[in-house]
């Protein structure tokens, strides 16, 4: 029996993250953490739901435009439900089942599995690229978080750019990355002829034009702005009165920490990062923890919206046809 398999390593990392979260929570005043939410009212709750709804809408439109490159027109209402359902599944399930939810719709529409994973693959790469960009800009705006910050962060960005360029020019490396993504997102029963699946996914990149790339880049930027606005307003409501540059740096670092496969929903790692950054500007551990819980709140909003969409999204073939016919009737 192999102990250090990917599954068991993920479980161990998540357990360590939760242990870190419990350790941090034991060292803060929980009443002060919960008391930070006393300023929240119906207006702010409505703002949070609307902002997250717009965030999901923009990202679903981006996915719709990517899929259109492959000759598939997804109704706007269906793209919203499918994308929200995918986010919901990504929150409640281990691995990357949420990515496959979008592919499932395309497979049921008659698209081959390899072509179906192109859109969630590009979707994820865009999110990572813009997160790196926002994170780097934040580090430029907030020097002094760690020693030689500008030099090290610039070197990191250069290394990432070189790696991306190398992978884009080396089809074998891109194939290896796509294979890992395919194994993580596509259930076994759909992996017939994995080499063909990977080849079809890679061929999708050849469909990108300068105009369409610019369009989806703008949509990605709009989604990121909405996400940052959500969290910046939340910080202000909580009473975190620091310059916007510090907030941007903290948010970027927290999102990065949440993406690390060492915890569940970023618990522990995200809290530690926020306490470290806010501590340097005199913000208490309690306020940092209260702000960290706002990330969990976003997952709750996604869960509520995504659950409804998961129950009503047209993943079955007959419901796909019904949704497409309904969209045609409205035109």
**Structure confidence at residue 48 (pLDDT):** 93
Q: What is the pLDDT of residue 91?
A: 74
Q: Please give the Cα distance from 110 to 118 (Å, whole number).
A: 15
DSSP assignment of 239-298, as one string?
T----HHHHHHHHHHHHHHHHSTTSSTTTTHHHHHHHHHHHTTT--HHHHHHHHHHHHHH
Q: Which of 85-99, 174-188, 253-267 has the lowest mean pLDDT?
A: 174-188
List the structure tokens of 320: 């796909």
- pLDDT at position 99: 63
CB 155 within 8 A of CB 237: no
Place of tokens 């609307």: 50
Q: Where is 208: in which H helix or E strand?
A: none
Q: Cα(99)–Cα(243) distance, rounded to whole angstroms?
A: 36
Q: What percent of the chain has pLDDT over 90?
A: 24
pLDDT at 174 over 90: no
Statement: residue 280 has pLDDT above 90: no
Residue range 70-94: mean pLDDT, rounded: 83
| Residue-level pLDDT at 290 | 94
Burial 116-144, CB ≥16 within 10 A → b, else e: bbbbbbbbeebbeeebbebbbebbeebee
Mean pLDDT, the chain, rounded, equals 78
The domains of the chain are located at 27-61+108-305
Residue 162, pLDDT > 90, answer no
Residue with tokens 């399930």: 93
pLDDT digits (tens, 9 = 90+) for 195-238: 666 666 777 777 788 888 899 999 999 999 999 999 999 999 99
Average the pLDDT over each of 27-41, 146-160, 185-199, 200-214 and give the range with the smallest value: 185-199
Is pLDDT above 60 for 168? no
Average pLDDT over residues 311-329: 55
Q: Do the beta carbons of residue 60 and residue 84 sit within 8 Å?
A: yes
User: What are the pLDDT digits (tens) for 40-55?
Assistant: 999 999 999 999 999 9
For the chain, percent of residues with pLDDT exceeding 70 = 68
Q: What is the pLDDT of residue 191?
A: 52
């Amino acid at each position: 029996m192999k102990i250090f398999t990917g599954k068991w390593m993920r479980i161990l990392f998540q357990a360590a993250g939760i242990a870190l979260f419990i350790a941090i929570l034991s060292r803060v005043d929980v009443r002060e953490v919960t008391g930070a939410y006393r300023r929240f009212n119906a207006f702010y709750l409505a703002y949070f739901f609307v902002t997250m709804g717009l965030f999901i809408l923009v990202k679903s439109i981006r996915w719709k435009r990517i899929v259109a490159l492959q000759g598939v027109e997804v109704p706007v209402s269906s793209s919203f439900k499918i994308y929200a359902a995918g986010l919901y599944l990504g929150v409640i399930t281990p691995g990357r089942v949420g990515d496959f939810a979008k592919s499932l719709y395309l497979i049921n529409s008659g698209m081959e599995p390899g072509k179906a994973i192109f859109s969630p693959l590009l979707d994820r790469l865009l999110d990572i690229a813009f997160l790196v960009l926002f994170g780097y800009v934040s580090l430029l705006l907030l020097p002094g978080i760690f020693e030689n910050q500008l030099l090290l962060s610039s070197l990191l960005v250069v290394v990432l750019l070189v790696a991306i360029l190398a992978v884009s020019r080396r089809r074998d490396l891109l194939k290896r990355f796509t294979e890992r993504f395919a194994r993580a997102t596509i259930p076994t029963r759909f992996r017939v002829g994995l080499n063909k699946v990977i080849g079809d996914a890679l061929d999708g990149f050849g469909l990108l034009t300068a105009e369409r790339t610019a369009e989806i880049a703008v949509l990605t930027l709009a989604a990121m702005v909405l996400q940052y606005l959500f969290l910046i307003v939340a910080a202000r409501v909580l009473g975190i009165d620091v310059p916007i540059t510090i907030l941007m740096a903290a948010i970027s670092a927290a999102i990065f920490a949440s993406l690390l496969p060492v915890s569940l929903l970023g618990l522990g790692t995200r809290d530690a990062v926020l306490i470290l950054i806010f501590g340097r500007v005199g913000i208490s551990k309690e306020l940092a923890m209260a702000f960290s819980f706002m990330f969990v709140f976003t997952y709750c909003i996604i869960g509520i919206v995504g659950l409804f969409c998961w129950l009503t999204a047209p993943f079955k073939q007959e419901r796909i046809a019904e949704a497409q016919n309904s969209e045609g009737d409205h035109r």
